């Protein structure tokens, strides 16, 4: 049975093309170079089998989603991804599992030009801890606290799709048509909005990625900014697939409260609307205005001129 060091060497050590990696996997530390004028953006995500993903999830999917979730945090900050480290706790040595996991990991990293620069492989219950490192010019980061009264609230893509995907995966919902596969893919292989995050530098004020639910994550922005918001529920971009699978009422609920979409929620002043429209066109990604920031605290949801109440508040990891 191979030791930890052989495991690491076999599955996770690869040469990198990045010139800013002076030393990668294999020493006590990685040695890295942050470009002049850039702040280092760092984010950590832990994923536990049976909590964040079903134990029988294909290993390549686990790896790809972990990378996406982690890079999504950089995107929400407007940071350019550069490096990642991986803490991997495994219940047993399983060459087939590791090969598939490593393939999914490297494919996901390669998609975004990210180098795996270090890690630790240990024995125990299946757990991943990924840490993404990226760069953002000083004072251009998209902080949660930077929303301003009068900003418009935007969401990228189609929120709620991953939520219905989860219901399908858990057997809580039955597939109604061919759109179900797309919703499952949105759950298992989310796309971190890295290009969008970079393009929002200088356009958006505040940003956050929707991991726990649109309303809950917007709540973090409002709390950090000391502001409130009103959302127009009828403006939520509900995809045809989500509507077909979940129906309109459930689709709205999922769009507002389900997690795992990893779309970007951001606030921007009204005068950026033309630039955002051009950006949506360039990225081929809907950027939909769903409300506005106001000084009055609290989050108000409006549908057809009346108050709208949310059945569930969003996902709590604990």
User: What is the footprint of a copy of itself within residues 82-111 (CB under 8 A)?
Assistant: 83, 85-89, 93
If binding is defined by CB under 8 A, does position 10 make contact with a copy of itself?
no
Based on CB atoms, which residue is closest to a copy of itself, 216 or 239? 216
C-alpha to C-alpha distance for 53 and 60, rounded to whole angstroms:
12
- Largest interatomic CA distance in the chain: 66
Run of H or E including 81? strand 80-90
By the rule CB under 8 A, 9 interacts with a copy of itself: no
Residue 76 contacts residue 145 (beta carbons within 8 Å): no
Alpha carbons 220 and 178: distance in angstroms, whole number? 35
57 binds a copy of itself, rule: CB under 8 A:
no
How many whole angstroms separate alpha carbon 40 and alpha carbon 73? 13
Of 64, 68, 98, 208, the one binding a copy of itself by CB under 8 A: 208
CB distance 5 to 122 below 8 Å: no
Other residues' Cβ atoms within 10 Å of the Cβ of residue 46: 15
Helix (H, G, I), strand (E, B) or coil at 126: coil
Q: How far is Cα of residue 39 from the mean position of the Cα atoms in its chain?
A: 21
Please list every residue from 111 through 140 that binds a copy of itself, using CB under 8 A.
117-125, 127, 129, 131-134, 136, 138
- Binding residues for a copy of itself, rule CB under 8 A, total 73
Nearer to a copy of itself, 32 or 184 (CB): 32
Task: Return the number of the residue (7 or 254) whose C-beta is nearest a copy of itself.
Answer: 7
Closest separation between CB of residue 211 and a copy of itself, Å?
9
Which one of residues 67, 79, 251, 254 is an interface residue with a copy of itself (CB under 8 A)? 79
Residues 19-48 that bind a copy of itself (CB under 8 A): 22-23, 26-34, 36, 39-48
| Contact present, 311 and 243 (Cβ < 8 Å) | no
Q: What residues between 262 and 281 interact with a copy of itself by CB under 8 A? A: none
In the complex, minimum distance from the CB of residue 256 to a copy of itself, in angstroms, rounded to a whole number: 18
Token output for 108: 């996901």
Does the protein bind a copy of itself through residue 191 (CB under 8 A)?
no
Minimum separation from the CB atom of position 48 to a copy of itself (A): 3
């Amino acid at each position: 049975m191979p030791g930890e060091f052989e495991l690491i060497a076999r599955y996770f050590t690869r040469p990198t093309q990045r010139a800013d990696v002076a030393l990668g996997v294999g020493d006590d530390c990685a040695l890295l170079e942050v470009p002049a004028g850039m702040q280092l953006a760092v984010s950590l995500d832990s994923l536990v089998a049976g909590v964040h993903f079903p134990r029988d999830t294909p290993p390549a999917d686990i790896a790809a989603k972990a990378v996406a979730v982690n890079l999504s945090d950089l995107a929400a900050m407007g940071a350019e991804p550069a490096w990642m480290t991986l803490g991997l706790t495994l219940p047993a040595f399983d060459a087939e599992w590791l090969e598939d996991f490593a393939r999914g990991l490297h494919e996901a990293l390669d998609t975004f030009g990210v180098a795996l620069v270090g890690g630790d492989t240990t024995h125990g219950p299946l757990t991943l801890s990924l840490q993404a490192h990226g760069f953002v010019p000083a004072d251009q980061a998209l902080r949660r606290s930077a929303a301003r009264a009068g900003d418009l609230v935007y969401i990228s893509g189609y929120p709620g799709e991953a939520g219905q995907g989860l219901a399908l995966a858990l057997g809580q919902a039955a597939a109604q048509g061919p759109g179900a596969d797309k919703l499952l893919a949105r759950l298992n292989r989310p796309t971190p909005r890295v290009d969008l995050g970079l393009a929002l530098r200088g356009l958006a004020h505040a940003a956050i990625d929707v991991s726990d639910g649109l309303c809950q994550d917007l709540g973090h922005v409002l709390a950090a900014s000391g502001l409130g918001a009103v959302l127009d529920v009828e403006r939520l971009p509900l995809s045809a697939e989500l509507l077909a699978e979940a129906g309109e009422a459930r689709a709205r609920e999922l769009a507002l409260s389900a997690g795992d979409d990893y779309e970007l929620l951001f606030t921007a002043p009204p005068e950026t609307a033309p630039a955002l429209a051009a950006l949506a066109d360039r990225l081929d990604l809907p950027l939909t205005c769903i409300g506005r920031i106001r000084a009055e605290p609290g989050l108000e949801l409006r549908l057809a001129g009346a108050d709208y109440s949310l059945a569930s508040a969003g996902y709590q990891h604990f």
